[in-house]
Each structure stands twice: as C-alpha cells, then as structure tokens.
C-alpha cells in the first residue's frame, strides 16, 4: 500500500536521512503513531517515530547540532533518543528514534502493543517514493485492516508482560479511535489486570484522563469497570457497586455515578442554551494542571461525586428510609487519598474537593429560593468552579429517576440551575463594591482580635452590600452587632 505524506514532514525526513545513512545493514523504518495518524487522514503529523537496526544516538546528536535542534536521551539503555526540530514558522516537529526491540523489523513490530501501531515503512527501499512525498507500507500484522475496521488488536500475547500500563492504553486508544477491543485483547486484559497494581499512579492517571477528552467517555469508563480495573486503580469507586439508594433514585450508587457522567457529557454537547455558553466552554477547555483541562477534571469529579455515600449509608430510625448524611463532606475527604495516588496537583485536589463537597448545593439553593445573597455567597465561596458544580448538580438530578421524580420537576430544576449559572455572568459584569468597613475597623469597633471571625464578618458585610441591604457605615455596624450577638449565643 502506497501512502501520501505531507510535504513538510517528507522534507524533514529527507533532511534527517543523510545523518542516519540507511542501508541493508543499517536499516531505518518509519513506524508507529506517525503512520497511524496519516491513515486517519491527519493533515499534519508533528510526531515522527523511527526504529533502526542500530543505536541512533550519534547520528541524532549530529543532526541536532547541524540543525540547531533540541536533543533528549529518553532511554540510554534501550537507545531511545528524541530530537525536536523547530522551523522558521515556529512549528516544532519531534523525531523519536529507537533501536530495534528485537533482531529485525518483524520482531520489533511484534514487540509493540497494538497492530495499528505496528505498521512500518522502509526508508531505504522507498527513497524514490519519499522524494514524491510517498511511502510504501509494510504491515505483517494487518494493522491497516484493524484500524479500518476499528478493532484494537494485540501484536502478541506478551504485550502486557512487557508493560502492564498497556492495559490502560488499550482503553485510551479504544476511546480516541472509537474502536472495539478484540476478544483476544479482552482475554489478555482479564489475565493480566492485577499487574496494574505495580504501575505508578501518574502513569495510570495520564492514560485515564486522555479518555476524558472524548465527548462520550462514559462508554469507556463503563468498559473499564466491566473489565474489573476500578478495583485496582480506584477502589473507592468500585465499592459503590451494589450500594442501594432511597426513593429519589432508581440505580445503585455506581450505576447512578456512571449515568451522571453520561448526562454531563450530553449537557456539554447540546446546542448553546445561553449567550454565555461559549465563555463557559472556553473556561472548561483551559488547562488546570499540566496537559489536563478543567473539562477532564470535571468529568472525573462527576464520576466520583457520590463516593462518600458508601461509608455514610444509614437507615433513619424514625422513617426506616436510607440516608447518606454528610456524604458530600466525607466524599471530599476521600478525594485526598485518590488525588495523592494519582499524583494530581494541589489545584486539582482543591477543585475536586470543592466539587464533591458542593455538588448538591445548587439544588439546595433552589429549594430555599434563589436570592442575591445566597448566590453571592455561593460564587464567593466556589468561584468560577461553581459553574462546573452546577452542571454536575444538574447531571446528578437527571440521573436520579426515582418514584418521586416527575418530568415537570426536572424541567423546573434545569431552568433553575441555568438561572444560577446566569447570575455568575451577571455578577462578573458588576463593579467590585468597596467595603463599608475593613478588617482593622471591625476589630477596633468591636474590640476583636484577628481570627476566622473577622473573615466571617467581612463576608457577611460583603453579601449585605451586594444585596443592597446596607448602604452606609452606620447600617454596617448595626448589622455586624446583630451578627456578633448571634455568634456569641
């Protein structure tokens, strides 16, 4: 099979080849993601993988020096090196060069993970083709057919013995390429899944969070669960299986959580219901830490929003009904252990704890009645993340279809949630109010010492000013006097 490649990438490969000096005994092959991406009709491929029958370090270093490119030795023992070539237009291309994993190209391809990553093209035999921006594919494991038929197929039965993380990569590739896992692959995952316990949390995290980049990640989260992996990677989520709920719910805690993720993804992909929707999407697509976005961490938090129900489940002695008192607080505490295992950042932990602790709060605001003070307090405490919390709250409600839940109730609830979100954008357009009293003035007037109470009084004052309940210092002092008398009771 002859494959066209982009002119820039072809030119860069031809620029590199004189340094590699390919020959029958000095073999150089294009391989891996570069070819896979071309077969998926990508117009630009910034990552170019090559495998060689020799140690590429010396040639790579000479090329990097000649082109003023960056060079990083990724694995000195296995002879893997990376060259980053930046062009005058500012675009950067990455060459990953590695020595054969076996004695020849066939052995190297068989030692890879999945067959659509094991398609190669010789750069010795194809030099004339390359000048015309073409390569001829070598596909002994039938990776082209696997890619075309959207079936993820293992290169060999030993793929997980070489690296158990490939188990998570299987689900990641399946999600990114909307591919089914072959029967052989599912059999091997079941056989080797316990070996994932030996993989570092950050490596598992990276593969898991890439799944959340697709618009229907719930399908692959469900498949991961069906394969029994959550018992190993997030046991707190696995424990949600079989935990029955009250009359507001029609599913156990796990299935409800999975349905909540599905409903969240539906909400995220509907036509813009409000004029601020693009601004919301822009926020969710911002990076929160490393390559991970708020959207990815929001989906993760939605999946885990009810983990606190497992240790908090109880029976109300008066009514005999199931209750989960303070499960949101317990769940927020449990997030700390999960984030530490997966090596998530402090910023991500803060976001997730905020989400889990407050995921019911927008619904409670609707029960109590929307007011300027309540919404000011909500966004003052939750900040912009309160928008994501609102979406999870709505997805949570859409996923709880017990006997008490009517369609009219859901329509009203959704309208209320969008109203709460709308207020955030109204608040953001208002000029910041200058406090009527500052902390030093409050301490002097009421003879108080520095401490948490001062912040509480400042927040009370700020909320009242925002709601226009007070307009001058005298009214501020009177309000704080009443507040202090309540606190001292």
Reported as a single tens digit per residue, the pLDDT across 318-357 is 888 888 999 999 999 999 999 999 999 999 999 999 999 9
pLDDT given for residue 373 in this prediction: 84
Give 246-313 as a DSSP string.
-TT-SS-HHHHHHHHHHHHHHHHTS---STTHHHHHHHHTSEEETTEEHHHHHHHHHHTTTTTHHHH-
**End-to-end Cα distance, the chain:** 83
* Helix H or strand E encompassing 107: helix 105-110
d(CA 260, CA 396): 5
Comparing CA positions, the residue from 214, 211, 205, 137 lying closest to residue 165 is 205
pLDDT given for residue 477 in this prediction: 82
Tokens 């996923």 label which residue? 399
pLDDT given for residue 427 in this prediction: 79
d(CA 310, CA 316): 16
User: CB–CB of 54/99 below 8 Å?
Assistant: yes
d(CA 294, CA 387): 11
DSSP code, position 71: E
Tokens 């593969």 label which residue? 207
User: Is residue 388 classed as helix, strand or coil in its secondary structure?
Assistant: helix
pLDDT given for residue 431 in this prediction: 64
User: CB–CB of 69/49 below 8 Å?
Assistant: no
* Helix H or strand E encompassing 30: strand 28-31
The string of pLDDT tens digits covering residues 213-256 is 999 999 999 999 999 999 999 999 999 999 998 888 889 999 99
pLDDT given for residue 125 in this prediction: 66
Q: How many CA atoms lie within 13 A of 470 on its CB side?
A: 21
Segments in the chain below pLDDT 50: none
Count CB neighbours of 403 within 10 A.
Answer: 9
pLDDT given for residue 489 in this prediction: 64
User: CB–CB of 218/262 below 8 Å?
Assistant: yes
pLDDT given for residue 462 in this prediction: 78
Residue 476, token pair as written in the block: 């501020």
């Amino acid at each position: 099979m002859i494959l066209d490649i982009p002119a820039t990438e072809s030119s860069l490969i031809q620029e590199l080849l004189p340094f590699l000096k390919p020959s029958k005994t000095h073999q150089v092959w294009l391989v891996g993601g570069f070819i896979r991406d071309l077969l998926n009709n990508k117009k630009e491929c910034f990552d170019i993988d090559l495998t060689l029958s020799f140690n590429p370090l010396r040639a790579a270093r000479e090329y990097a020096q000649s082109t003023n490119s960056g060079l990083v030795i990724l694995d000195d023992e296995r002879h893997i090196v990376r060259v980053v070539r930046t062009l005058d237009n500012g675009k950067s291309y990455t060459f990953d060069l590695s020595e054969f994993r076996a004695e020849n190209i066939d052995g190297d391809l068989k030692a890879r993970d999945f067959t659509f990553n094991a398609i190669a093209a010789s750069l010795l035999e194809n030099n004339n083709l390359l000048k015309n921006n073409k390569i001829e594919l070598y596909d002994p494991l039938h990776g082209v057919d696997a890619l075309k038929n959207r079936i993820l197929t293992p290169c060999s039965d030993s793929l997980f013995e070489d690296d158990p993380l490939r188990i998570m990569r299987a689900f990641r590739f399946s999600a990114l390429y909307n591919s089914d896992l072959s029967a052989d692959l599912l059999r091997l995952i079941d056989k080797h899944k316990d070996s994932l316990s030996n993989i570092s949390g950050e490596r598992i995290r990276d593969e898991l969070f890439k799944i959340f980049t697709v618009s229907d990640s719930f399908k692959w989260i469900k498949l991961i669960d069906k394969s029994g992996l959550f018992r190993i990677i997030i046991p707190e989520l696995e424990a949600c299986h079989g935990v029955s709920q009250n009359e507001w719910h029609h599913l156990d805690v796990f299935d409800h959580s999975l349905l909540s993720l599905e409903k969240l993804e539906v909400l995220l992909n509907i036509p813009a219901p409000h004029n601020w929707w693009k601004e919301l999407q822009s926020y969710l697509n911002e990076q929160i830490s490393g390559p991970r976005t708020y959207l990815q961490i929001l989906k993760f938090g939605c999946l885990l929003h009810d983990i606190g129900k497992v240790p908090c489940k109880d029976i109300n002695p008066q009514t005999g009904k199931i209750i989960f008192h303070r499960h949101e607080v317990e769940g927020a505490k449990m997030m700390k252990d999960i984030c530490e295992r997966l090596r998530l950042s402090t910023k991500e932990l803060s976001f997730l704890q905020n989400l889990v602790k407050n995921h019911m709060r927008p619904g409670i605001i609707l029960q109590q009645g929307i007011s300027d003070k309540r919404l000011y307090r909500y966004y003052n405490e939750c900040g912009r993340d309160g928008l994501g919390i609102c979406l999870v709250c709505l997805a949570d409600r859409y996923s709880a279809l017990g006997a008490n839940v009517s369609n009219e109730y859901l329509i009203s609830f959704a309208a209320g949630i969008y109203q709460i979100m709308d207020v955030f954008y109204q608040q953001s357009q208002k000029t910041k109010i200058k406090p009527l009293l500052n902390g030093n003035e409050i301490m002097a007037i009421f003879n108080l010492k520095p401490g948490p109470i001062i912040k509480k009084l400042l927040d009370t004052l700020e909320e009242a000013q925002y709601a226009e309940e007070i307009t001058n210092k005298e009214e501020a002092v009177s309000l704080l006097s009443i507040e202090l008398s309540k606190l001292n009771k």
